[in-house]
Structure 1
Amino acid sequence: MGIINTNDWLKENFYDPLKVCTKLKPLFPELNEKEIYTYMKKFHMYTPSRNTKTIYQQLKASKVWETVETLYIKYKKIWNGPDVPVYIFPLDGGNRLFVRNSQNKCGVSFQDKMFLFLGDIKDEKEIEAVFVHEYHHVCRLNELNKNLTEYSLLDSIVMEGLAEKAVEHHCGKVYLADWCRKYSHTDIEKWWGQYMIPNLCRKKNERIHDHILYGVGRYPSMLGYSIGYHIVEEFYDKKNFSAKASFSISPEELLKEIKFQ
């Protein structure tokens, strides 16, 4: 499958994203195009405007579809990864809660598909970083092969931490997301006991799962992501592992090695 030519979709219907999302209906048979667009906007799919049209034009000028295809071929080979469709759309410039960092990139992945939402990125390594993070999710989801509703908060924070460790390995520390360095180890230890331990078994379909994972309301911003990276970092210091091996490491195995529980 590889990179889907969403460039052509955007050429025809940039100002009508519902028409664009109609093409995604086979991927989400239980949703209509409006529901698909609402869902994608949670991860910063563009809203039509002069600003996002400029972003789209910049993506075309920088040949981002070709860049991502090169990355897809590279990592599919290195990781012996699954063959999934990858969809690229301009990033919305509004609410930045789920954006990886100030480098204008975001994504969402499933076992059988992957979406990237990109802004005007000057450094191609930033594109590689978000690609590695999201494609790592695809590989791990396929390795674990569970229904999404079965994933717990513990599964999710470890998933995010392992994906970002892969970014560090393949792209370097400088390309880590901001949330990796957002909080001190002291804060992480405190919040682990205060927020995480009582809720580690909460399932993905429970509201509190996402509230803690993303840091909504009273929870610190990107809390679950940050703690996930700290857990993986501590485990890696003791049990050095490859990115490929990380597709199958169990969360329980990581918890045995961390100090602050």
Structure 2
Amino acid sequence: MGGGFFGVVRTDKWLEEDFNNPIKICERLLKVFSEEEGKSVEIYNYLKKFGMYKPNRRSYECFEALKRRDYWGKAEKIFRKYEKKWKGPNIPIYIFPIVGKTSIFSQTYNTKSGVAFQDKMFLFISPFDDDKELEALFVHEYHHVCRLHHKKKNSEAFTLLDSIILEGLAEHAVEECCGQKYKAKWCNYYSRKDILYFWGRYLKPKLMIKQNSQLHDEILFGKKNYPKMLGYSTGYEIVSMYKEETNFSLKDSFLLPSERFLTGLKNINHSNNT
């Protein structure tokens, strides 16, 4: 499926034609980004930040393997399952090979990444040993789409608190739909005690920082002097605390305001102080 039907767009066909020219591939995305001609370079640079491939032999081999194993067909089935289950929006989904990240310090490289908007979604992948990993990535990103769709909050108004809760809720959805085994490693980077310390030291005074500020990303991803994946890990833990206090469903996770989840944190802090 593709075109006006939405769902998984056959970017494999785009890649067959223009693999070595990703900027030309991004020309096809001008409409969905509401950009005028000539801005395809900016779209490519933006998507590269989230893991879109650079043309080389390794990424071409990755593409060939994805094609052989029909990841476009697999993703379409997963999409239709969750679109129905969550009554989610019908959006275009774009799949591209992920950039290979190897270095002298690390022989491992990312196998999956993504970026979600209210009206579209991008998945950057390499073939998985376990195809359930594809579903886990999908659930995380599509949860974002559904929450953004329901909240209808202007991206300029989006705060660090919104981002933290968005990430935490998405990973709880992965845990619920795919199992503990498939949740992200950053969920377990820190103990609850660590998170409560980080909360007071780094996060609490900065919660209203807007999404378009550089500091927002530094805190969320744990860049510069901030602990690694600080916002993500904190979001997961805050939602865990809320869950311990309150029964809430996946449906609620699309609708509840970000501030609501801080009640679990307040209760924990209160019990620690008494």
Residues in 2 aligned to 1:202 and 1:213: alpha-carbon distance in whole angstroms? 11
> Residue by residue, what CA displacement relative to the aligned partner does 1:123-150 show, whole Å, maximum 9, x if unpaired?
1110000000000000000100011111
Match of 1:151 among 154, 158, 167: 158
State the shift of 1:242 in Å: 1.9
Segments ≥4 residues shifted beyond 6 Å: none
Residues in 2 aligned to 1:190 and 1:62: alpha-carbon distance in whole angstroms? 45
1:25 aligns with 2:30: yes
Match of 2:79 among 72, 85, 108: 72
Give the aligned residue type for 2:250: A
1:200 aligns with 2:207: yes
Q: Is the 8 A contact 1:103 1:126 kept in 2?
A: no
Of all paired residues, the percent bearing the same amino acid is 47
User: Structure 2: which 5+ residue stretches go unaligned?
Assistant: 1-5
TM-score of the pair, normalised by structure 1: 0.95
Tell me the C-alpha RMSD between the 2 structures: 1.5
Give the aligned residue type for 1:213: L
Aligned to 2:231: 224
Residues in 2 aligned to 1:114 and 1:245: alpha-carbon distance in whole angstroms? 22
Aligned to 1:56: 63
Q: Is the 8 A contact 2:100 2:109 kept in 1?
A: no
State the shift of 1:252 in Å: 1.4
Aligned to 1:8: 13
Residues in 1 aligned to 2:124 and 2:264: alpha-carbon distance in whole angstroms? 35
- The within-5 A match list for 1:14-163 is 14-30=19-35, 32-94=39-101, 104-163=111-170
Aligned to 2:246: 239
Q: Is the 8 A contact 1:103 1:121 kept in 2?
A: no
User: Structure 1: which 5+ residue stretches go unaligned?
Assistant: none
Q: How many pairs align?
A: 257
Give the aligned residue type for 1:2: G
TM-score of the pair, normalised by structure 2: 0.91
> Residue by residue, what CA displacement relative to the aligned partner does 1:180-201 show, whole Å, maximum 9, x if unpaired?
0111112111110010001000
> Residue by residue, what CA displacement relative to the aligned partner does 1:234-256 show, whole Å, maximum 9, x if unpaired?
11122122222200111211111
Residues in 1 aligned to 2:163 and 2:8: alpha-carbon distance in whole angstroms? 26
> Residue by residue, what CA displacement relative to the aligned partner does 1:15-67 show, whole Å, maximum 9, x if unpaired?
11011111111112336010000000000100011110111011011110011
Give the aligned residue type for 1:14: F
